[in-house]
Amino acid sequence: MVNFAAARSQPVPYEQTVSGDFDALFLAHYVAVFRLAYRLAGTREEAEDLAQETFARLHASPRIWTAEPGALKGWLYRVVTNLAYNAARTSGRRRRREDVVFAEAARRTAPDPADVAEEAERRESVRAALLRLPERQAQLLLLRHAGLSYRELAEALNVAPGSIGTLLARAEAAFERSYRAGGEL
């Protein structure tokens, strides 16, 4: 959850927030946002589009720019995982895993095509396992992996800080089951 109170306490009129501020935020967070998107998206191109959309939303929300860093990260990560999860689940992008693996293998040149295919396959298994989880569990795992503290997680996902340990243990167990159900491991 975004800390609006914190964002409000240092109001910066939109005209004064030079675009340099936004650019700095973009550069600082792009890689993390892209990777979050990529774990749920089928391809790099989709992940790039999702990251762009996330920053378009940030651009439209100048008040978030001045939120404290943890809250800003929480906001960005929540938005991108939310977008990516929904895109992957709803809009017919749930293509067959073979297609994704093939597309990824085809677009990358590597010394050993077998390695690339294997790696793409592994990535696809993780993605499929995440998408079989409820969104909140997938989000929790991704945001934790992206380095949010328990307090930041609690804020981003709007739950009590004391419950993160329990939720995380549950989500990890669910992920393991989901991954196994996909025929891997």
Partner 1 sequence: MNEHDTGRLRAYLDGESSPEARAAVAAHIDRCARCADELRLLESRAGAVDAGLSHVDEYAPDPQAALARFHAHRAEAPEPARLSVANLLRSIDEMKRNALSPRWRPAMIGLTALLVVALLFTIAPVRNAAADFLGLFRISKFAVIPLDQAQMDRLGQLAQQAEGTFGDPQVLREEGPEQPVSDAAQASALAGFAVRMPSRLPESAVLQSFTAQRGPALRVEMDRAMVEAFMQAAGVSPAGLPQTEKLVADIDVATGVSLKYRVGSGRLEFSQVPSPQVNVPEGIDPVALAETGFMFLGMPQEDARRLATSIDWTSTLVVPLPANAAEAREVTVDGVTGLLLEERGGDRGDTALLWEKNGILHFAAGHNVDQKLLIDAADSLQ
Q: Which is nearer to partner 1, 61 or 97 (CB)?
A: 61
Q: Which is nearer to partner 1, 113 or 134 (CB)?
A: 134
Q: Compute the least distance from the CB of residue 165 to partner 1, in Å.
A: 3
Q: Which is nearer to partner 1, 52 or 69 (CB)?
A: 52
Q: Which is nearer to partner 1, 60 or 96 (CB)?
A: 60
Measure CA of the first residue to CA of the last residue in the chain; give whole Å: 35
CA quadruple 74, 127, 84, 138: dihedral, nearest 10: -40
Distance between CA atoms of 127 and 123, rounded to whole angstroms? Answer: 6
Q: Compute the least distance from the CB of residue 112 to partner 1, in Å.
A: 16
Binding site for partner 1 (CB under 8 A): 1-5, 7-8, 23, 26-27, 30-31, 34-35, 38-39, 44, 48, 51-52, 55-57, 59-64, 78-79, 82, 86, 90, 119, 122-123, 126, 129, 135, 141-142, 145, 149-150, 158, 162-169, 172-173, 175-176, 179
CA distances from 36 to 18, 42, 73 (A): 27, 12, 12
Q: Compute the least distance from the CB of residue 117 to partner 1, in Å.
A: 14
Nearest to 40 by CA among 91, 74, 113, 105: 91
Distance between CA atoms of 51 and 63, rounded to whole angstroms? Answer: 19
Q: Compute the least distance from the CB of residue 105 to partner 1, in Å.
A: 14
Q: Which is nearer to partner 1, 95 or 122 (CB)?
A: 122
Going by C-beta distance under 8 Å and a sequence separation of 6 or more, which residues neighbour residue 135?
A: 82, 85, 86, 89
